Amino acid sequence: MTYASIDDLQTTLADAGYVADRPLATALFLALKLEKPLLLEGEAGVGKTEIAKTLARIQGRQLIRLQCYEGLDVATTIYEWNYTRQMLQIRLLEAQGAAHGDQAIRDIFSPEFLIKRPLLQAIEATGELPPVLLIDEIDRADEEFEAFLLELLSDWQISIPELGTLRAERPPTVIITSNRTREVHDALKRRCLFYWIDYPSLEKEQQIVAARQPGASARLSREVVAFVQELRKVDLYKLPGVAETLDWTAALLALDAQSLSEGAINDTLGAILKYHDDIEQVRGPKARAILDKVTR
Ligand SMILES: Nc1ncnc2c1ncn2[C@@H]1O[C@H](COP(=O)(O)OP(=O)(O)OP(=O)(O)O)[C@@H](O)[C@H]1O
Ligand SMILES: [Mg+2]
């Protein structure tokens, strides 16, 4: 699933509501062309997860998502036997007087008693096109999982003792995201193409608002984006991402605001700033100063 050109991919993404600047479109273009995993790092809410979802959508491919967290293990990422169903089956066989013997054991360890988790689903996918595998927020998983992933990314096979080795016919397209709460290992990075998604430029963010909040007037979106861009220069505990810009626009629209005003800002700061200290710092004089600057 490659594209004729980077422009082509960029346009297709834009048509699906995802604004990718040229460098990001290039990274994705190359990942598809070279069939390499794409590791996306960046601050929260800059569109890392969304690009994987959009890619699956524009190519009509299945999206398989593995949300990472601490303590992720085989049972939650690859497979687990469905013990309840196995127990019921044993009871049933017992009632029929046929619970014992090798055949019965083999039967309860057959695929129908297997609960397939995302990585196994990705390997076993049989659709016309290989799926898009989104390994989201890898930095939250522990290092053992990363080591396991490393292996998987190189040979695309998984061994299940009772069933044997399962191998992917066509490896999925892999997008890995990280919020960089810790560094991803060099060994994993080496297998991936890497791209850092920064906060968007003013122009890019305006395009995103136009794509995602078409109800906002040109004036409102211009002022909102300019305000958020200024806010990102303030020394805050948590800077607003694109997600916050979109939420804020939605909040302002819900209040029928056609443009930014001090009152509207103070009423809706909670849509862009999520820490009390940040809100206290911005509310009042600072908000007024930024408003003056962006509406001058
Ligand atoms: N370039 C973009 N084009 C269109 N929408 C975007 C873009 N970037 C971000 N968004 C929107 O912003 C929101 C947040 O994006 P997303 O969830 O992908 O962020 P993220 O980088 O994965 O954040 P987190 O690290 O918090 O998971 C989504 O609603 C998404 O639609
Ligand atoms: Mg995300």
Assigned domain for 35 exists:
yes
Cα of 148 vs centre of ligand 1, distance in Å, is: 28
At 143 the pLDDT is: 87
Q: Are residues 107 and 135 in the same domain?
A: no
Q: What is the residue with the minimal CA distance to atom 4 of ligand 1?
A: 18
Q: Are residues 242 and 147 in the same domain?
A: no
If you average pLDDT over residues 79-89, what whole number do you get? 93
If you average pLDDT over residues 247-257, what whole number do you get? 95
Cα of 137 vs centre of ligand 1, distance in Å, is: 13
Place of tokens 């990314």: 153
Q: Are residues 70 and 84 in the same domain?
A: no
Number of structural domains (the chain) is 3
Domain that holds residue 99: 80-111
Domain with residue 70: its CATH number is 3.40.50.300
Q: For residue 15, which ligand has an atom nearest its CA?
A: 1
At 100 the pLDDT is: 66
Q: Are residues 85 and 218 in the same domain?
A: no
Q: Are residues 266 and 219 in the same domain?
A: yes
DSSP characters over 130-176: PPEEEEETGGGS-HHHHHHHHHHHHH-EEEETTTEEEE-SSPPEEEE
pLDDT > 70: what percent of the chain? 98
Tokens of 171: 């490896």
Q: Decide if 18 contacts 9 (C-beta within 8 A).
A: no
Of residues 38 and 128, more confidently modeled: 38
Assigned domain for 286 exists:
yes
* DSSP letter, residue 199: P
Mapped onto helix, strand or coil, the DSSP state of residue 67 is strand
Assigned domain for 132 exists:
yes
State the CB neighbour count (10 A cutoff) for residue 5: 11
Alpha carbon distances (Å) from 161 to 26, 79, 158, 273: 41, 12, 10, 50
If you average pLDDT over residues 132-140, what whole number do you get? 96
Q: Are residues 215 and 257 in the same domain?
A: yes
Q: Decide if 174 contacts 154 (C-beta within 8 A).
A: no
Assigned domain for 137 exists:
yes
Cα of 158 vs centre of ligand 2, distance in Å, is: 27
Tokens of 120: 């196994």
The domain boundary, picked from 55, 88, 111, lies at 111
Q: pLDDT at residue 101 above 80?
A: no
Assigned domain for 130 exists:
yes
- State the Cα–Cα distance between residues 269 and 267, nearest whole angstrom: 6
At 211 the pLDDT is: 96
Atom of ligand 1 nearest to the CA of 51: 18
If you average pLDDT over residues 77-84, what whole number do you get? 93
Q: Which residues line ligand 1 (CB under 6 A)?
A: 17-19, 42, 44-50, 177, 179, 208, 211-212, 242-243, 246
At 127 the pLDDT is: 83
Tokens of 89: 């089956």
- State the Cα–Cα distance between residues 216 and 252, nearest whole angstrom: 9
Q: Are residues 149 and 175 in the same domain?
A: yes
Q: What is the residue with the minimal CA distance to atom 23 of ligand 1?
A: 45
Assigned domain for 118 exists:
no
Alpha carbon distances (Å) from 232 to 20, 73, 164, 229, 265: 20, 37, 53, 5, 16
At 106 the pLDDT is: 74
Q: What is the residue with the minimal CA distance to atom 15 of ligand 1?
A: 47
Q: Are residues 103 and 180 in the same domain?
A: no
Look at the pTM and tell me if it is higher than 0.85: yes
The domain boundary, picked from 197, 215, 235, lies at 197
Lowest mean pLDDT among 19-33, 126-140, 153-167: 153-167
Q: Decide if 269 contacts 276 (C-beta within 8 A).
A: no
- Which of 57, 242, 245, 248 to mutate for ligand 1's pocket (most ligand atoms within 8 Å of CB)? 242
Assigned domain for 116 exists:
no
* DSSP letter, residue 215: T
Q: Are residues 213 and 192 in the same domain?
A: no
Cα of 47 vs centre of ligand 2, distance in Å, is: 7
Q: pLDDT at residue 134 above 70?
A: yes
Atom of ligand 1 nearest to the CA of 246: 12
Q: What is the pLDDT of residues 267-285, one digit of tens each?
A: 999 999 999 999 999 999 9
Q: Are residues 63 and 130 in the same domain?
A: yes
Q: What is the residue with the minimal CA distance to atom 13 of ligand 1?
A: 243
The domain boundary, picked from 197, 220, 246, lies at 197
Q: Are residues 55 and 191 in the same domain?
A: yes
Cα of 246 vs centre of ligand 2, distance in Å, is: 15
Place of tokens 């009390």: 276
Assigned domain for 1 exists:
no
Ranges of H-type helices in the chain: 6-15, 22-34, 48-58, 74-77, 83-95, 102-108, 118-124, 143-155, 186-191, 202-212, 218-231, 242-254, 262-268, 276-282, 285-295
Q: Are residues 179 and 246 in the same domain?
A: no
Non-local (6+) Cβ contacts of 99 within 8 A are 90, 93
Give the model's confidence band at 93: pLDDT under 50 very low, under 70 low, under 90 confident, else very high. Answer: confident
Q: Report the candidate in 148, 153, 167, 179 with the shortest Cα–Cα distance to residue 77.
A: 148
- State the Cα–Cα distance between residues 79 and 82, nearest whole angstrom: 9
Q: For residue 48, which ligand has an atom nearest its CA?
A: 1
Atom of ligand 1 nearest to the CA of 211: 4
Cα of 50 vs centre of ligand 1, distance in Å, is: 5
Give the model's confidence band at 119: pLDDT under 50 very low, under 70 low, under 90 confident, else very high. Answer: very high
